[in-house]
Amino acid sequence: MKSIFRHVAIIGKYQTVASGAFSRNALEDVAQFLHAQGCEVAFEHDTAHNMGISGYPVLSVADIGEQCDLGLVVGGDGTMLGIGRQLARFGVPLIGINQGRLGFITDLPYESFTSKLEPMLGGEFEEDHRSLIHAKVMRDGHCVFDALAMNDVVVNRGATAGMVELRVEVDGHFVANQRADGLIIATPTGSTAYSLSAGGPLLHPSIPGWVLVPIASHTLSNRSIVLANAAEIAIEVVAGRDASASFDTQSLASLLHGDRIVVTRSDHHVRFLHPKGWSYFDTLRRKLHWNEGVA
């Protein structure tokens, strides 16, 4: 079975030096497999440079978006989050081969990637679209920081003791002033990440919503709330020292009193491809160890 994808880009995890030799060999194994399936193979620039891979064309992320019809991500969910945000505007579908720990969105085990990937390259796959958050930090009426997030936007208190006080609005309507360690706005994809650790609910990826989750709220009656992702959410820093906002934990903005973090739904979404028969519930059972010990 030959691939329906003509030009495939490989994006790998390269930040961990200790795993360098294994990761390089894994990436080259994937490249050779793709070539055998009739694909034209290229490597993302930083992946090739940092892993010492040669003998293949090297492309920037923008070039991948314009020239390739599939991105193959070899790494963990963090690697997928980073490239997913960058390629979303191009509409390039992504397949993830998991070399990380959890693998909620990189779901092909490296040990069996050939048996899973071959039919997918032939057109046997499930397609899954994930929404993105577009967030801006507004200061004195001006945008001082602009970012996309696939998992979440988190407003945190500083490292010193004490809570942060945040004013929350939805579509211009006042919701509450919250005193807490912070506040999470998570997508359905991010509902299995920090939001889950803070007591938030799981959201199925097909739900057009966000979840707003307080972190260690001072008021015990403050609870998570699910909001339509068509809404605009604004969080204003009222009090607290050294507050910051993080976006998928991969970019960070320092905040001042009066700053507003304005969150809307991005016009773009990330396209994931999964093996035929894939189910979100299978992923939850496997990754969260549901049903273990049940006869």
- Output phi, psi for 183, to 5 deg: -145, 140
Q: State which fold the 7-123 domain adopts.
A: Rossmann fold (3.40.50)
The helices-and-strands tally (H runs, E runs) of the chain is 7, 18
Q: Start-end ranges of CATH 3.40.50.10330 in the chain?
A: 7-123
As to burial, measured by CB atoms within 10 angstroms (0-12 exposed, 13-18 middle, 19+ buried), residue 200 is buried
Nearest Cα to Cα of residue 15 among 114, 111, 97, 99:
99
Residue of 46, 69, 77, 152 with catalytic role: 77
Give the C-alpha separation, 39 to 1, whole Å: 12
- SS3 assignment, position 92: coil
What's the pLDDT tens digit per position in 84-116?
A: 999 999 999 999 999 866 678 988 999 999 999
Residue 143 confidence (pLDDT): 97
Q: State which fold the 132-267 domain adopts.
A: Tumour Suppressor Smad4 (2.60.200)
Overall pTM > 0.75: yes
Nearest Cα to Cα of residue 185 among 235, 140, 147, 146:
235
Residue 198: CB atoms within 10 A of its CB come to: 21
77 is catalytic: yes
Q: Start-end ranges of CATH 2.60.200.30 in the chain?
A: 132-267
Residue 292: CB atoms within 10 A of its CB come to: 7
What's the pLDDT tens digit per position in 107-150?
A: 899 999 999 999 999 999 999 999 999 999 999 999 999 999 99
